[in-house]
């Protein structure tokens, strides 16, 4: 009888550019395909074209769940003002769901936002992301007023005052 070895749990780490750029952009595009929606109203292609510049501090950054060189999931942080940052693109690949990676990614981005001195996090969550919405709620996010005009019916806007995080 052969002994089966279990793969180590994915590690959450900050993305490193340019090494992670292509796989991370591919993962985000996979997420958008999973959403099955057109994100042109949010300038998605321009965001992807300027990915490294957009998601390098001080303007932003990404965390990845690294499963031995394969990206299992991700979440980004994008600066809005000196006080507010936006949580972007929380996604965990189907094969890696059930490992609490979403919670770990959200906890990492909350911790980094605090470290960077932000007082508030905001995000938008479309109806397809109900599971992610539950993660955000458990972390202490609450409904807030929209911070941009959104043509997608059912989108929730959530915010977290960083003194109140639950994760």
pLDDT tens digits along 14-26: 999 999 999 999 9
164 — pLDDT class (breaks 50, 70, 90): low
pLDDT tens-place string over residues 48-89: 999 999 999 999 999 999 999 899 999 999 999 999 999 999
Check pLDDT > 60 for residue 5.
no
Residue with tokens 């005052």: 161
Q: How many residues are there in the chain?
A: 167
Domains and CATH numbers, the chain: 11-164 (3.40.630.30)
What pTM value is reported for the model?
0.91
Place of tokens 């458990």: 138
Question: Percent of the chain, pLDDT > 90?
Answer: 83
Q: How confident is the model at residue 7 (pLDDT cuts 50, 70, 90)?
A: low
Tens-digit pLDDT profile for residues 104-162: 999 999 999 999 999 999 999 999 999 999 999 999 999 999 998 877 889 999 999 99
Top pLDDT among 101 and 1 is at 101
Q: Is 154:127 a contact under the CB 8 Å cutoff?
A: yes
Distance CA 48, CA 167 (A): 29
What is the greatest pairwise CA distance in the chain?
A: 60
Q: What SS3 class is residue 64?
A: strand
């Amino acid at each position: 009888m052969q002994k089966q070895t279990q793969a180590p749990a994915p590690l959450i780490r900050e993305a490193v550019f340019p090494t992670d750029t292509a796989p991370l952009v591919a993962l985000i595009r996979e997420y958008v395909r999973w959403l099955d929606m057109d994100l042109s109203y949010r300038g998605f292609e321009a965001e992807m074209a300027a990915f490294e510049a957009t998601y390098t501090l001080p303007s932003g950054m990404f965390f990845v769940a690294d499963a031995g060189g394969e990206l299992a999931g991700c979440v980004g942080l994008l600066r809005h003002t000196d006080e507010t940052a936006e949580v972007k693109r929380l996604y965990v690949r189907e094969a890696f769901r059930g490992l609490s990676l979403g919670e770990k990614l959200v906890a990492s981005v909350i911790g980094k936002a605090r470290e960077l001195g932000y007082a508030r996090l905001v995000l938008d969550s479309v109806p397809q992301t109900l599971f992610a919405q539950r993660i955000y709620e458990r972390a202490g996010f609450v409904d807030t007023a929209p911070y941009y005009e959104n043509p997608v019916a059912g989108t929730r806007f959530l915010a977290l005052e960083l003194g109140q995080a639950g994760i």
